[in-house]
Amino acid sequence: MINAFLVFNGQGQPRLTKFYTQLDTSIQQRLISEIFTLVANRPKGSCNFLPLPPLLAASSTSSTSSEPHNDVPSLVTYRNYATLYFIIISTSTESPLALIDLIQVYVESLDRLFENVCELDLIFNFETLHATLGEMIVGGVVIETNMERIVQGVRAQGTVAKRPVNESRGGGGGGGGLGSGLGAGLGMGGNFVWSGR
């Protein structure tokens, strides 16, 4: 199952945290920062899987010495879009490649909802982020991978707010740049599971 879904930006500031098991806030933060240091130091062109962060590695080695244990989070998958990192921590029962595409679906759904999504959208509408995630994953189990249905489900919960009133796309700060950057990041394409679609 999926243990946690995290989004943070290039500075390591969390934009979305969802833990499917209970965890202290302080430990959550430690985990995020550990993963961030791992992610930030990745060379270009390396794979989308991280070695276990120390916090997880310590606990998993202590309990997996004898037999492989399927309950222990053992896989950290990440994907980078423009300024944002999307992280999934999962157990070995999930397929690594499929998780990469799950992130892809999530980002694409957000893109659909926000029309050219950017980091600012995520900050101001993080409730929508949660709603979208809630349409895809419940309790750590993936329930939907079809983008249409996800978007539909989120829209059914109410209108997705456009950017706040003081928005100044392109003008104010890096907003526009982020937007286009994230959009361009989507060009990476869903290359694994849904390539047929």
User: What size, in residues, is the chain?
Assistant: 197
Binding of residue 12 to other proteins (CB under 8 A): no
Residues 78-97 that bind other proteins (CB under 8 A): 89, 93, 95-97
Residues 142-161 that bind other proteins (CB under 8 A): 142-146, 149, 153, 156-158
**Of positions 9, 10, 34, 42, contacts other proteins by CB under 8 A:** 42
Give the 3-state secondary structure of residue 86: strand
Binding of residue 27 to other proteins (CB under 8 A): yes
Instruction: Give the CA radius of gyration of the chain.
Output: 17
Rounded Cα distance between 102 and 193, Å, is: 9
Binding of residue 11 to other proteins (CB under 8 A): no
Provide the Cα torsion 164, 87, 192, 106; round to 10°: -30
The footprint of other proteins on this chain (CB under 8 A) covers a number of residues equal to 74
Nearer to other proteins among residue 43 and residue 187 (C-beta): 43
**Of positions 9, 60, 116, 180, contacts other proteins by CB under 8 A:** 60
Rounded Cα distance between 15 and 107, Å, is: 13
